[in-house]
Chain A
């Protein structure tokens, strides 16, 4: 019974945790610009996220080490340090976007400019992480994030019929645009980056150790990765499809979270916007916690320092100092006037650029019997793992030029 409860809780937290500021920005923007053309990319990326989340969890279960501990042991100091530094940079860039997202929600609620809320949000986040235990940090934002279900439910019950046939056709057969090719490729990489964020796997792997998973939890791991990420992607799909239905025909481009909230209002009226905002806040809060903690967990694990969100800050001083420093750095960037929406797009593109360096060691370790014993990858995990590694390596080579060309816009 307790395993069933753990699996259910894991799936729920993964559903809420799948969506972050990347999805909230990129999905409506790409739906508004290209209607359903990027649906296959989103579905494919979701499968990739599931495959590597399951792998990260299984690595933790079989070797009793987190992904970063194995990166240090398997790649050694120099190469491991490269992966750590890239991971840290990505975490901090994403954290800037997430704290900006929290401030955007506050702006919509209180009607003042988002910059007024940047400091209270960052301080609140730091205090929540300092005094909240692991279960609180993981479950509160995830359950709040479930309020975003108002978007898919609103679409299903709204007055504009969902074109199921067109959706099914687009899902299996990509429809490439005849113009705006650079913008389209940028959008493809942004969708890939939104669904496949490295911090999700680092955090997931560390979560296994925080929750003291055992070999009995292999089923919980699989359910969380497949069902949780799969159901979570429904939220992302609904944001893209909703924008394709409402914004695309009218030539509108959502430039603000408030406009994305119209997707919820369309189904249930004005009150649904409050649910949307609660859900969006839960998602960005959860992602802010994950990115800041993932930075601290990864560094502490790499250097062998004590870490853990349920331990008193005085027992894990370096771990605590790193996540507080990450929040402080993100705050400084926001106060300097960096646009959180542009930072989000840049973080998605850079995220894809850094993904192959994250995934290759995971794939290598998941096939190493020295670490995995009898829990090494099966043929399906290997075929899918290599396929996504190749796709992401190709996408990574295009990511840097696209950041320069697009200037952080979709």
Chain B
């Protein structure tokens, strides 16, 4: 499973299958190497939209209806499918408050903005995070980082566009303040196509 491809922006549904929002951000415990909580709601989106988000937050507060922020602990996840993430919640019920974030927790939206430097000082960019996909409620563990030399402007900010994708095992990644250091030089990085792949979430069985 790849975090940005298979979790982020995907439909969250109640236990009955009714829509309840999208997975707007994901917390990643970079020290323990696990995927943490799934974040959803207007406040989570506003955090990622810069000035537009700040204006939306201010307007909502002025109207006396602050933007929603729900943090679904992974223990609430019952199934991860190609097209949706099902939560153990009844329709209309609120996401129960989760325990505070662990010390080494970083949001995916922050992690993807960090610069990446290879062992031979080459600049790269975070593309995705490859994770295992155990049966819930076991948490997905981080397998490695997917990086690309494509500049962000080249992709017009879109999420899944990049060339020359490379895989870096998580053990070879060191997180400094605001920067991701790779121990390996660029040429030693494995092309994504030949990297270990735990597989994508199952597709929907199309009704016939």
Residues of A within 8 A of B (CB): 61-65, 69, 72-81, 212, 214-216, 303-307, 370, 373
B208 lies within 8 A of A214 (CB): yes
Name B1-39 residues within 8 Å CB distance of A: 4-5, 8-12, 18-22, 24
- 26 A/B residue pairs, CB under 8 Å, sorted by A: A64-B83, A64-B204, A64-B206, A65-B83, A73-B9, A73-B10, A74-B160, A75-B158, A76-B4, A76-B157, A76-B158, A77-B45, A77-B49, A79-B157, A79-B159, A80-B9, A214-B208, A215-B207, A216-B208, A303-B21, A304-B19, A304-B40, A305-B21, A306-B18, A307-B19, A370-B5
Cα A274 to Cα B203 with chains together (Å): 52
How far apart are the CA atoms of A332 and B12 in the complex, in Å? 36
Closest to A307 in B: B19
- Sorted from nearest, which 6 A-B pairs have the closest CB atoms? A76-B159, A304-B22, A79-B158, A75-B158, A304-B21, A306-B19
- Bound together, the chains give a CA A63 to CA B82 distance in angstroms of 9
Q: Is the CB of A74 within 8 A of B159?
A: yes
Question: A72 near B206 (CB under 8 angstroms)?
Answer: no
Q: How far is the CA of A62 from the CA of B8 in the complex (A)?
A: 20
**Residue B48 at the chain A interface, CB threshold 8 Å:** yes
Given contacts A63-B83, A77-B48, A304-B19, contact A72 B204 (CB under 8 A): no
In the complex, are the beta carbons of B207 and A214 less than 8 A apart? yes
Are the CB atoms of B158 and A72 closer together than 8 Å?
no
Report the Cα distance A132→B181, complex, angstroms. Answer: 58
The distance from the CB of B48 to the nearest CB of chain A, in whole angstroms, is 6
Question: B156 an interface residue at 8 Å Cβ cutoff?
Answer: yes
Interface residue B95 (Cβ < 8 Å from any Cβ of A): no
B76 contacts the other chain (CB 8 A): no
B117 touches A (CB below 8 Å) = no
> For B4, what are the chain A residues with a Cβ–Cβ distance below 8 Å?
76
What chain B residues lie within 8 Å of A74 (beta carbons)?
A: 158-160
B133 at the interface (CB under 8 A from A): no
Interface residues on B, range: 20 to 34
Taking A74-B159, A76-B158, A77-B9 as contacts, is the C-beta distance between A370 and B22 under 8 angstroms? no
CB nearest neighbor in A for B156: A79
The interface residues of chain B lying within 8 Å CB-to-CB of A64 are 83, 204, 206
Residue of A with least CB distance to B159:
A76
Q: A74-B159, A304-B22 known; 20 other A-B pairs, CB under 8 Å?
A: A64-B83, A64-B204, A72-B9, A73-B10, A76-B8, A76-B9, A76-B160, A77-B24, A77-B48, A78-B157, A79-B158, A212-B207, A214-B207, A303-B22, A304-B19, A304-B21, A304-B40, A307-B19, A370-B5, A373-B203
The majority secondary structure among interface residues of chain A is: helix
| A304-B156 Cα distance, complex, nearest whole Å | 24
A307 to B11, CA, bound (A): 13
Measured CB to CB, the nearest residue on chain A to B207 is A214
Tell whether B67 is near chain A: CB-to-CB under 8 Å: no
Residue numbers in B under 8 Å from A61 (CB-CB): 206
Contact A78/B9 with A64-B83, A214-B208, A370-B200 known, Cβ cut-off 8 Å: no
Say what secondary structure dominates the interface of chain B: loop
A79 proximity list for chain B (CB < 8 A): 156-159
Q: Are B208 and A215 in contact, with the CB atoms below 8 A?
A: yes
Query: Given A78, A303, A373, which contacts B48 in the complex, CB threshold below 8 Å?
Result: A78
Q: Are A78 and B207 in contact (CB under 8 A)?
A: no
Q: Which residue of A lies closest to B203 (CB)?
A: A373
Q: How far is the CB of B116 from chain A (nearest CB, A)?
A: 18
The CA-CA distance from A65 to B10 in the complex, in Å, is 11
Closest chain A residue, CB of each to CB of B18? A306
* Residues from chain A with Cβ under 8 Å of B157 in the complex: 76, 78-79
Check B159 against A75 for contact (C-beta < 8 Å): yes
Contacts of A77 in B (CB 8 A): 9, 24, 45, 48-49, 159
Residue of B with least CB distance to A373: B203
A262 to B20: give the CA distance in the assembly, Å: 52
CB distance from A407 to the nearest CB of B (A): 31
**In the assembled complex, how far is the CB of residue A363 from the closest CB belonging to chain B, in whole angstroms?**
13
Residue of A nearest to B14 (CB): A306
The residue of chain A having its C-beta at the shortest distance from the C-beta of B11 within the complex is A304
Q: How far is the CB of B193 from chain A (nearest CB, A)?
A: 13
Q: Is the CB of A304 within 8 A of B206?
A: no
**Residue of B18, B24, B49, B159 ringed by the most chain A CB atoms within 10 A:** B159
| Contact between chains at B159 and A304 (CB < 8 Å) | no
Partner of A305, one of B19, B158, B203: B19
Q: Which residues of chain B are near A215, meaning CB under 8 Å?
A: 206-208
Closest to A375 in B: B206
Chain B residues contacting A81 (CB-CB under 8 Å) are 49
State A124–B190 Cα separation when bound (angstroms). Answer: 61
B200 nearest in chain A by CB position = A370
Interface residue ranges of B39-71 to A (CB < 8 Å): 40, 45, 48-49
B48 surroundings in chain A (CB, below 8 A): 77-78
Q: How far is the CA of A305 from the CA of B22 in the complex (A)?
A: 8
- Contacts of B160-208 to chain A: CB distance below 8 A: 160, 200, 203-204, 206-208
Of the residues B11, B20, B40, B156, contact of A69 by C-beta under 8 Å? B11
Q: Are A304 and B12 in contact (CB under 8 A)?
A: yes
Q: How far is the CA of A105 from the CA of B19 in the complex (A)?
A: 40
Residues of B within 8 A of A73 (CB): 9-10
B159: A residues at CB distance < 8 A = 74-77, 79
Distance between Cα atoms of A307 and B158 in the complex (Å):
26
- By beta carbon, the residue of chain B nearest A303 is B22
- Residue of B whose beta carbon sits closest to that of A64: B204
Query: CB-CB < 8 A to B9: which residues of A?
Result: 72-73, 76-77, 80
**Distance to closest chain A CB from B16 (angstroms):** 11
